[in-house]
Amino acid sequence: MLKEFKEFALKGNVMDLAVGVIIGAAFGKIVNSVVDDLIMPVVGRALGGLDFSNYFFALKAIPPGTATTLDAVKKAGVPVFAYGNFLTVAFNFAILAFIIFMLVRWINKLKRAEAAAPAPAPAEPPEEVKLLREIRDNLKAR
């Protein structure tokens, strides 16, 4: 069983998948930062200075003295319908999907260009091979 696991774990596809997952997780953090720190503040400002992360409906009465931010209401134990958070995650997904689409499109374009490139001409055989072929052809002719 250990031998089978080693063969499975060392297959190229498994290693490629592991690298892809690690890079994807890091890339996801970058996209989250772009959306949370760059895009959403601009969108919020364009819509009147609103912060999407604090768009929510409290599904229960908010205790008196609790700030009306999403974090404060959640800490107070109030269930919330956090649609602003959903909008932010939806923007993250859309941006990530678009970037992956562009990456796959670029890779496919490179593959098509590579497939369309003419194959290199075969190398000239060495002198010994030419001589052996000549001898073979002479023997066949007799």
pLDDT at 77: 92
Q: Domain total for the chain?
A: 1
pLDDT at 51: 65
CB 84 within 8 A of CB 36: no
Q: Note down the domain range covering 28.
A: 2-50+82-141
Q: How many CB atoms lie within 10 A of CB 93?
A: 12
Cα(86)–Cα(80) distance, rounded to whole angstroms? 12
pLDDT at 114: 79
Residue 14 lies in a domain: yes
Residue 58 lies in a domain: no
Residue 77 lies in a domain: no
pLDDT in tens, the chain (142 residues): 888 877 777 776 777 778 888 888 888 888 888 877 888 788 778 877 666 777 888 898 989 988 888 889 999 999 999 898 888 788 878 887 888 888 889 988 988 887 777 777 788 888 998 899 999 999 888 7
Give the sign of the dihedral formed by CA 44, CA 46, CA 49, CA 55: negative
pTM to 2 decimals? 0.55
